[in-house]
């Protein structure tokens, strides 16, 4: 039996509408399956219910409208070499972008969180993460941000972005994250 | 235990009771898997060890804890004793046939009894015999609540250890450590064998760097509960806690002065990470280092006059020392790509630390008078946080194996190691508590 092109088109329209309606629901159950940007990086997963604020009822909002490259599809991570707090050249685009945002909006505040990989002592890594955060803050201020807009913090090795004990995991954990307040 | 090994080792057994760790008697071998049934995994080759049989105590099988097994595990873990299997029951009131125990290779024998009293307590008695001289070396008795049976066993082990070595035992002391399971962190306090853990603090955020006050009544630690590193001090018995340092930025690495009046710590409030002193009530802040470097992980010497600490002022993190009230610093480690986490022995003579070489982080000991080179005492690759026992004979540290974080103790010469088992959580950041409870 030949399916008329009209009914195919209509089927497609119905399917598209359904997708549109479903997408707009933003229910947490559906979102876990997809390639959705989850703010909370912890391995326990979104199902834990403990959002980034640490309370029992926190909910992380995901803005699907941002995925098309507008407003907040921003790079917010700067990576570092082992035992180093030098801001590399490849971080320049990220630093430039956030420096512009800060310079252009005196009310905008950000926190820069420094992190390390899992090697070495926890205290030394706390201090190294602090150096990384401060190095990024310094880079931002050199490009127009004001120090009052920025706070450097460190979590040392306590909040890895990825688990694993190989260089590829370590490289992803040696980082500073730039977060809007 | 392998009978052949016992007989071969027995031929070397012509010793007095008090032994030196550096004695030249040939090593006694036992299989690397002498797994005590109480999950203290012990492996290693000892220099000189006194063979001791700890017989079953009469009545212990009906008690909540098997006293003889705890005593034997303690003595083994010290590195100074070699287990002689003793499947027999020997009571403290008897006169054991010394010849039988000589044949088994024992130089010393322990026996005892456990009796349940009408009020629910247990009366625990033991006796120690010198098998070689066939003499009674004394004993004791103590009546305790069921919950203190492990403690009584540890005290018996301490008494035996002291009588036979002349040194104070540490089996009745406690350790603290941090456990993590998912996002649940706990600061726990356990017996020195890792058993009997109690939770001092539950948190959804990391806890690091616990440090016992010199009198053992308080713990200082760093908590991230307010989304940054803050130094707290908590009373162990009451749970009462107070913030000692919450300055702008990170507050961490608390280290008690030997008189318990002050703490050295690391603050980033003025940029970077620098060393400060602060009173135990949080007053009297004083900056100690003035560098653009990372200066952290301070630790006092037992006489309170010197601080050892980690600094990367020379380009890589190394260990330095400076006067405890501030002053010029002098570098102390030279053989490692990185040197971290200094710990000083209670007699002030030995520095233990974590050394990075060829990519591996390994526990190293170094005499502080320069009389010898630094020596790695582990062959693992992910060691952290060494802490000396109060008798200076053992070090507890954390390491990683098969993807798990676990705690180990080692003799200071590295020859006898024991794994302290946990119940599946990752455990780290151990600190050995002082004498007394």
- The single residue listed with the structure tokens 């905008």 is A108
Q: Which of A68, A96, A121 is the last residue of a domain?
A: A68
| Residue B223 confidence (pLDDT) above 80 | yes
* C-beta separation of B108 from B50 below 8 A: yes
Whether residues A84 and A165 fall in one domain = yes
Q: Which of A68, A97, A121 is the last residue of a domain?
A: A68
A91/A179 same-domain check: yes
Residues A53 and A114 in one domain: no
pLDDT at B46: 66
Question: What pLDDT was estimated at residue A59?
Answer: 80
* Other beta carbons less than 10 A from residue B140's beta carbon: 15
Cβ A123–B252 below 8 Å, yes or no?
yes
Point out the residue among A42, A130, A153 whose CB comes nearest to the CB of B273.
Answer: A130
CA distance B399 to chain A (A): 11
Chain A residue nearest residue B386, CA to CA: A121
Domain range spanning residue A33? 1-68
Contact residues on chain A for B340, CB-CB shorter than 8 A: 120-121, 124
**Does residue B256 sit within a domain?**
yes
The answer on B359 and B397 residing in a single domain is: yes
The residue among B294, B313, B343 with the most chain A CBs within 10 A of its CB, best to mutate, is B294
Residues of B in contact with A160 (CB under 8 A): none
Contact between residue B265 and residue B258 where contact means Cβ atoms under 8 Å apart: no
The answer to whether residue B170 sits within a structural domain is no
Q: Looking at the structure, do residues A156 and A181 belong to the same domain, yes or no?
A: yes
Which of the 8 DSSP states describes residue A162? Answer: S
pLDDT band of B10, cuts 50, 70, 90: very low
Residue with tokens 């390390």: A116
At residue A24, the pLDDT reads 44
**Of B117, B136, B165, which marks where a domain is finished?**
B165
Looking at the structure, do residues A55 and A133 belong to the same domain, yes or no? no
| Mean pLDDT, residues B74-96 | 93
Counting the structural domains of chain A, the total is 2
* pLDDT for the residue A53: 52
Domain assignment present for residue B94? The answer is yes
pLDDT at B198 > cutoff 80: yes
Do residues A92 and A50 both lie within one domain? no
Which residue from B393, B422, B426, B423 is spatially nearest to B409, judged by alpha carbons?
A: B393
Return phi, psi of residue A19, to 5°: -65, -40
Name the nearest CA neighbour of B253 among B284, B225, B279, B274: B274
Query: What ipTM was assigned to the predicted interfaces of this complex?
Result: 0.87
Contact between B223 and B207 under an 8 Å Cβ cutoff? The reply is yes
Are B108 and B191 in a shared domain? no
For residue range B341-378, what is the model confidence (pLDDT) as tens digits?
A: 999 999 999 999 999 999 999 999 999 998 999 999 99
Q: Which carries the bigger pLDDT value, residue A47 or residue B166? A: B166
As a whole number of Å, the end-to-end CA separation of chain B is 35
Residues B159 and B194 in one domain: no
Residues of B with CB under 8 A from a CB of A: 182-183, 204-206, 208-209, 224-225, 227-229, 249-250, 252-253, 266, 268, 271-273, 294, 296-297, 310, 316-317, 338, 340-341, 354, 356, 361, 382, 384-385, 400, 403, 428-429
Q: Determine the 3-state secondary structure of A169 from DSSP.
A: helix
Please report the pLDDT score of residue B48 as a whole number.
83
What CATH number is given to the structural domain containing B390?
Answer: 2.120.10.30
Determine the residue among A126, A129, A169 to mutate to test chain B binding: the one whose Cβ has the most chain B Cβ atoms within 10 Å.
A126
Say how far apart CA A152 and CA A170 lie, in whole Å: 21
pLDDT of residue B9: 32
Neighboring chain B residues of A119 at a CB cutoff of 8 Å: 356, 361, 382
Please give, rounded to a whole number of angstroms, the shortest distance from the CA of B182 to a CA of chain A.
Answer: 6
Residues B28 and B142 in one domain: yes
H or E stretch including A180? Answer: strand A175-180
CB contact under 8 A, B229 and A154: yes
CATH of the domain at A95: 3.30.1330.60
Same domain, B352 and B395: yes
Name the more confident of B211 and A34.
B211
Say if residue B159 is in the same domain as residue B188: no
Note the helical H segments in A35-145. 92-103, 122-142
Q: Residues B149, B188: one domain?
A: no
Domain closes at, from B130, B165, B200:
B165
In a domain, B254, yes or no: yes
The sign one gets for the Cα dihedral A21, A25, A31, A35 is positive
Q: Which of B165, B188, B204 is the last residue in one of the domains?
A: B165
Give the tens place of pLDDT for each residue, A98-122.
999 999 999 999 999 999 999 999 9
Is residue B299 one of the residues assigned to a domain? yes
Write out the two tokens for A45. Answer: 């997963």
In terms of residue numbers, what domain contains B34?
3-165
Interaxial angle between packed helices A92-103 and A122-142, expressed in degrees from 0 to 180 and rounded to the nearest 10: 60
Whether B437 maps to a domain, the answer reads no
Domain contains B80: yes
Q: What are phi and psi of B50, to 5 degrees?
A: -90, 120
Q: Which helix (H) or strand (E) holds A14?
A: helix A5-25
Structure-token pair, residue A67? 């995925």
Best A124, A132, A170 member to test B by mutation, with max B CBs in 10 Å, is A124
Sequence-distant (≥ 6) Cβ neighbours of residue B99 within 8 angstroms = none
3-class secondary-structure state, position A82:
coil
**Is the separation of the CB atoms in A162 and A169 below 8 Å?**
yes
Of A49, A68, A87, which residue is a domain's last? A68
Contact B178, B208 (CB under 8 A): yes
Are A82 and A40 found together in one domain? Answer: no
**pLDDT reported for residue A48:** 41
Nearest to A119 among B228, B272, B361 (CB): B361
A95 and A151 fall within a common domain: yes
Closest CA of chain B from A146, distance in Å:
16
**3-state helix/strand/coil string of chain B:** CCHHHHHHHHCCCCCCCCCCCCCCCCCECCCCCCCCCCCEEEEECECCCEEEEECECECHHHCCCCHHHHHHHHHHHCCCEEEECCCCECCCCCCCCHHHHHHCCCCEEEEEEEEECCCCCEEEEEEEEECCCCEEEEEEEEEECHHHHHHHHHHHHHHHHHHHHCCCCCCCCEEEEEEEECCEEEEEEEECCCCCCEEEEEECCCEEEEEECCCCCEEEEEECCCCCCEEEEEECCCCCEEEEECCCCCEEEEEECCCCCEEEEEECCCCCEEEEEEECCCCCCEECCCCCCEEEEEEECCCCCEEEEEECCCCCCEEEEEECCCCCCEECCCCCCEEEEEEECCCCCEEEEEEEECCEEEEEEEECCCCCCCEECCCCCECEEEEECCCCCEEEEEEEECCEEEEEEEECCCCEEEEECCCCCEEEEEEECCCCC
Domain co-membership, A92 together with A157: yes
Q: What is the pLDDT along chain A (181 residues), one digit of tens a residue?
A: 454 555 555 554 555 454 444 444 434 333 334 444 444 444 343 444 444 455 777 787 765 544 333 346 789 999 999 999 999 999 999 999 999 999 999 999 999 999 999 999 999 999 999 999 999 999 999 999 999 999 999 999 999 999 999 999 999 999 999 999 8
Q: Is A108 left (phi over 0), alpha (psi -120 to 50) or beta?
A: beta
CA distance A148 to chain B (A): 13
The reply to whether B396 falls in a domain is yes
Is the domain of A4 the same as that of A59?
yes
Instruction: Name the helix (H) or strand (E) containing A112.
Output: strand A110-115
A13 DSSP 8-state letter: H
Interface test with A, best of B208, B223, B254, B309 (most A CBs within 10 A): B208
Question: Which of A42, A127, A152 is nearest residue B296 as measured by Cβ atoms?
Answer: A127
Strand B81-84 with B50-54, pairing: parallel
Q: Are residues A173 and A113 in the same domain?
A: yes
- Rounded to an integer, the average pLDDT of B30-54 is 58
Residues B138 and B195 in one domain: no
Tell whether the model's pLDDT for residue B126 goes beyond 80. yes
Q: pLDDT band at B47, cuts 50/70/90?
A: low
- A56 with A79, same domain? no
Nearest CB among A42, A152, A154 relative to B183 is that of: A42
Calpha distance A86→A108 (Å, rounded): 25
Maximum Cα interatomic distance, chain B, rounded to a whole number of Å = 72
Do B260 and B220 lie in one domain? The reply is: yes
Q: How far apart are CA A94 and CA A96, in angstroms?
A: 5
Cα gap B374→B333, rounded to integer Å: 9
Collect all residues with Cβ–Cβ distance below 8 Å to B105 and sequence separation of at least 6.
B6, B7, B9, B10, B13, B51, B84
B309 plus B344 within the same structural domain = yes
Mean pLDDT of the B183-192 span: 96
d(CA B168, CA B143): 23
Contact between A124 and B227 using a beta-carbon 8 Å cutoff: no
Task: Please give, rounded to a whole number of angstroms, the shortest distance from the CA of A3 to a CA of chain B.
Answer: 53
Where do we find the tokens 């180093």?
Answer: A84
Q: Are strands B274-279 and B286-287 parallel, antiparallel or unpaired?
A: antiparallel
Q: Is B160 found in the same domain as B183?
A: no
Q: Which residues contact B431 (CB under 8 A, 6 or more apart)?
A: B175, B176, B177, B210, B211, B212, B385, B387, B396
Q: Are residues B155 and B279 in the same domain?
A: no
Residue B208's beta-bridge partner residues? B222
Residues facing residue B160 across a β-bridge: none
Q: Is B363:B408 a contact under the CB 8 Å cutoff?
A: no
């Amino acid at each position: 039996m030949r399916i008329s092109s009209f009914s195919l088109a209509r089927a497609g329209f119905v399917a598209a509408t359904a997708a549109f309606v479903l997408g707009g629901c933003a229910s947490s159950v559906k979102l876990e399956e997809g390639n959705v940007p989850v703010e909370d990086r912890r391995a326990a997963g979104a199902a834990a219910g403990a959002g980034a604020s640490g309370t029992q009822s926190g909910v992380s909002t995901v803005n699907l409208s941002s995925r098309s490259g507008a407003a907040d599809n921003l790079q917010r991570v700067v990576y570092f070499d082992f035992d180093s707090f030098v801001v590399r050249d490849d971080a320049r685009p990220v630093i430039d972008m956030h420096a512009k945002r800060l310079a252009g909006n005196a009310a905008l505040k950000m926190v820069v969180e420094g992190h390390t990989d899992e090697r070495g002592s926890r205290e030394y890594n706390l201090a190294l993460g602090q150096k990384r955060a401060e190095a990024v803050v310094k880079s931002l201020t050199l490009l127009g941000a004001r120090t009052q807009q920025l706070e450097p913090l460190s979590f040392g090795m306590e909040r890895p972005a990825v688990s694993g004990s190989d260089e590829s995991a370590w490289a992803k954990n040696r980082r500073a994250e730039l977060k809007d307040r | 235990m392998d009978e052949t090994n016992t007989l071969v080792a027995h031929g070397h057994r012509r010793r007095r009771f008090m032994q030196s760790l550096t004695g030249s008697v040939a090593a006694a071998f036992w299989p690397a898997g002498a797994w005590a049934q109480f999950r203290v995994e012990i492996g290693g080759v000892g220099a000189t060890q006194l063979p001791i049989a700890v017989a079953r105590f009469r009545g212990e099988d009906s008690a909540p804890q098997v006293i003889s097994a705890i005593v034997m595990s303690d003595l083994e873990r010290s590195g100074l004793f070699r287990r002689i299997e003793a499947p027999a029951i020997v009571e403290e009131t008897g006169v054991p046939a010394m010849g039988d125990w000589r044949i088994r290779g024992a130089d010393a024998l322990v026996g005892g009894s456990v009796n349940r009293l009408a009020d629910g307590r247990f009366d625990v008695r033991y006796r120690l015999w010198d098998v070689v001289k066939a003499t009674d070396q004394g004993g004791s008795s103590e009546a305790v609540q069921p919950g203190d049976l492990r403690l009584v066993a540890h005290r018996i082990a301490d008494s035996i250890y002291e009588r036979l070595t002349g040194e104070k035992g540490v089996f009745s002391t406690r350790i603290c450590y941090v456990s993590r399971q998912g996002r649940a962190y706990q600061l726990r306090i356990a017996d020195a064998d890792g058993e009997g853990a109690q939770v001092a603090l539950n948190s959804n955020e990391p806890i690091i760097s616990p440090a016992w006050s010199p009198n053992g009544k308080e713990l200082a630690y760093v908590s991230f509960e307010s989304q940054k590193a803050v130094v707290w001090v908590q009373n162990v018995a009451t749970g009462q806690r107070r913030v000692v340092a919450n300055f702008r930025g990170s507050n961490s690495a608390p280290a008690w002065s030997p008189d318990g009046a002050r703490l050295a710590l690391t603050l980033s409030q003025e940029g970077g990470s620098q060393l400060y002193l602060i009173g135990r009530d949080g007053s009297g802040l004083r900056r100690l280092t003035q560098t653009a470097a990372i200066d952290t992980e301070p630790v006092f010497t037992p006489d309170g006059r010197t601080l050892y600490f980690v600094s990367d002022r020379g380009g890589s993190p190394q260990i330095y020392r400076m006067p405890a009230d501030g002053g010029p610093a002098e570098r102390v480690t030279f053989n490692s790509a990185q040197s971290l986490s200094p710990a000083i022995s209670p007699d002030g003579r030995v520095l233990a630390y974590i050394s990075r070489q060829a990519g591996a982080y390994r526990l190293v000991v170094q005499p502080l008078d320069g009389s010898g080179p630094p020596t790695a005492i582990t062959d693992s690759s992910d060691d952290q946080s060494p802490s000396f026992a109060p008798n200076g004979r053992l070090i507890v540290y954390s390491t990683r194996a098969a993807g798990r974080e676990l705690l180990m103790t080692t003799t200071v010469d590295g020859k006898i190691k024991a794994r302290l088992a946990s119940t599946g959580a990752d455990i780290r950041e151990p600190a050995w508590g002082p004498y007394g409870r």
